[in-house]
């Protein structure tokens, strides 16, 4: 069935759709923090690059990268449909990630990036976060 809207109208409609960010991964990480009694984190920071979690006292910016959106070598796969678009999109995301990390480190922040698939092992994630937090003290 053909779309009832013109290409321009459909584009305007889709431009107004707002995502829920990566709520499921963030909620999973919060559960890991609570389970392992990791404290001091905040969400929704206005820090450059908008980290998912910030530990202000330790100056740690934590990002959880989705396997698809950030091109995970294990789980990231380029769709066969419109492959050139998706390849460019994911590459742009990775380039932006590098820029964000570089700018934050230049401002004396420690940047910690976790892959979405890493959240399956809460103990491993908790250990990694604790190691980074200890190094900053």
SS3 string, the chain, reads CCCCCCHHHHHHHHHCCCCCCCHHHHHHHHHHHHHCCCCCCECCCCCCCCCCEEECCCCEEEEEECCCCCCCCCCCCCCCCCHHHHHHHHHHHHHHHHHHHHHHHHCCCEEEEEEHHHHHCHHHHHHHHHHHHHHCC
Q: What is the pLDDT of residue 56?
A: 93
Q: What is the pLDDT of residue 70?
A: 87
pTM: 0.80
Record: fold of 19-135:
Endonuclease; Chain A (3.40.960)
Q: What is the pLDDT of residue 106?
A: 97
Q: Mean pLDDT across the stretch 93-109? A: 95
pLDDT over 70, % of the chain? 95
Q: Is the pLDDT of residue 1 over 80?
A: no
Mean pLDDT over all residues of the chain?
Answer: 89
CA distance 129 to 137: 13
Confidence of residue 100 (pLDDT cuts 50, 70, 90): very high
Confidence of residue 132 (pLDDT cuts 50, 70, 90): very high
Task: Return the residue matching tokens 């990268």.
Answer: 65
What is the tens place of the pLDDT at every residue in 33-92? 999 999 999 998 889 999 999 999 999 999 998 888 888 888 878 888 888 998 999 999
Q: What is the pLDDT of residue 64?
A: 92
Q: Mean pLDDT across the stretch 94-118? A: 95
């Amino acid at each position: 069935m053909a779309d009832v809207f013109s290409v321009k109208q459909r584009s305007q409609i889709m431009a107004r759709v707002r995502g829920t960010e990566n709520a499921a991964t963030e909620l999973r990480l919060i559960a890991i923090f609570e389970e392992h009694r990791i404290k001091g984190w905040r969400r929704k920071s206005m820090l450059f690059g908008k980290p998912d979690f910030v530990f202000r006292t330790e100056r740690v910016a934590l990002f959880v990268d989705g396997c698809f959106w950030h091109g995970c070598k294990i789980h990231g796969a380029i769709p066969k449909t419109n492959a050139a678009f998706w390849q460019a999109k994911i590459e742009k995301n990775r380039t932006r990630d590098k820029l964000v990390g570089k700018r934050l480190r230049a401002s004396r922040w420690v940047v910690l990036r976790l892959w979405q698939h890493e959240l399956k092992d809460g103990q491993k994630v908790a250990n990694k976060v604790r190691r980074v937090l200890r190094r900053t003290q």
